[in-house]
Amino acid sequence: MLLIRCPWCGMDRPEIEFRHAGAAHITRPGPPDRVSDEEWAAFLYLRDNPKGRVAERWRHVHGCGRFFNAVRDTVTDVFVVTYRAGEPRPPESAPPETLPPETRP
Amino acid sequence: MVDGFVDTPRFRLIEAPPLARFVLRAPDAALKAAGKAYGLALPEGLNQGASHGERGKPGARVALHLGPDEWWLIVPEAEGPEVAAALEAALASHPHSLVEVSHRQVGFVLEGEGAAALLNAGCPLDFSEQAFPPGMATRSLFHRVGLMIWRMAPGLFRLEIDRTLAPYFVTALAEAAKDHS
Ligand SMILES: [Zn+2]
């Protein structure tokens, strides 16, 4: 079974305790009366679908109940890093192709 | 409901007496005041349980830290109203929520040297004592139902399960027990 590290519990826990909750670091546009339909549609519906590392929201629903963010590789399903909601994406979790060649994993 | 259902020399499932249960959501700054009013310091470490007294007997207190700002408080049924009043008074100056959930769930004890192995029939957690030492409490899953597991001693678990899902849990546990006898 795939283990996912919950950054709140500080433990590796079985995958079935977690729920995926969409892309992370999506900023809600505002204020609402000045947001165009296009901006709002993009906020609601438009997402990247890259092959490789993505930042996602996850929730430890059958555990501590909290949301957190995870960088996951969509090719290997490896969880590169998990971190608490509200924290910035750790720089070392950047897609390998954006790193200098000598530091790529 | 369950007496004699899962009862072998290696493990035994016992239903808890009626209890009063509360979910407290509060910031760390409120913990000291809450512990003082409750009569038991609330554990600060996440996924830790604390208790004193004997379950169901006067003065018994249980506090389980199950989420970053979430504690379950379990006391004898008759003491629920006074515990709630004392906590509300002590927490008046802190943002918090205190919700009574006494009848939402039922409690069980699963005890015996084979208790951890039996739980593993439906729960994927690692019950080695390094990974899940006595004193640890957490929510998890047993097959399709969520439950709370609190390990009090190597072969002694207290469980809390939603009332409507308890028959599923007991039946599934009894089925798994056949493989161990
Ligand atoms: Zn967690």
Task: Give the pLDDT confidence of B118-166 residue by residue, as tens digits.
Answer: 999 999 999 999 999 999 999 999 999 999 999 999 999 999 999 999 9
Name the nearest CA neighbour of B57 among B15, B94, B19. B19
Report d(CA B43, CA B50) in Å as an integer: 6
CA gap B155, A39 in Å, rounded = 57
CA–CA min distance A74, chain B (Å): 24
What residues of A are in contact with residue B124 (Cβ under 8 Å)? 1, 14, 16
At residue A14, does pLDDT exceed 80?
yes
Q: What is the pLDDT of residues B165-179, one digit of tens each?
A: 999 999 999 999 998
**The domain that contains A90 carries what CATH number?**
3.30.2270.10
Provide ipTM, 2 decimals: 0.92
Judged against a pLDDT cut of 60, whether residue A73 lies above it is answered with yes
**Domain region containing A60:** 3-103
Partner A contacted by B146 (CB < 8 A): yes
Give B50's pLDDT tier (boundaries 50, 70, 90).
very high
Q: Thinking of the domain B104-180, which architecture would CATH place it in? A: 2-Layer Sandwich (3.30)
State both tokens at A38. 């296009």
| Contact by Cβ (8 Å): B165, B159 | no
Query: Where in chain B are the domains?
Result: 19-100, 104-180
| Percent of chain B topping pLDDT 70 | 97
Count of the separate structural domains present in chain A: 1
Cα dihedral sign, B10-B155-B23-A10? negative
CB distance A77 to A4 below 8 Å: no
Query: Is B140 an interface residue toward A (CB < 8 Å)?
Result: yes
A101 has pLDDT over 80: no
Q: What is the mean pLDDT of chain B?
A: 95
- Say whether A64 and B141 touch across the interface (CB within 8 A): no
* Distance between A61 CA and the closest CA of chain B, angstroms: 9
* Least CB–CB distance from B140: residue in A1, A10, A63: A63
Q: Do B72 and B22 contact (CB within 8 A), yes or no?
A: yes
The CATH architecture of the domain made up of B19-100 is: 2-Layer Sandwich (3.30)
- Residue A46 has which token pair? 């438009």
**Could you identify the residue written with the tokens 């930042």?**
A55
Q: Which of B79, B98, B80 shows the shortest CA–CA distance to B88? A: B98
State pLDDT tens for residues B104-120: 999 999 999 999 999 99
Residue-wise pLDDT tens digits, A32-49: 899 999 999 999 999 999
Strands in chain A per DSSP E = 3-6, 11-14, 19-23, 53-59, 67-73, 79-84
A68 pLDDT band, cuts 50/70/90, is: very high
Does residue A105 surpass a pLDDT of 60? no
Distance from CA of B179 to the nearest CA of A (A): 22
B69 touches chain A (CB under 8 A): no
Res. B7 pLDDT band, cuts 50 70 90: confident
The sign of the CA dihedral B163, A9, A1, B121 is negative
- Asked if residue B37 has pLDDT above 60, the reply is yes
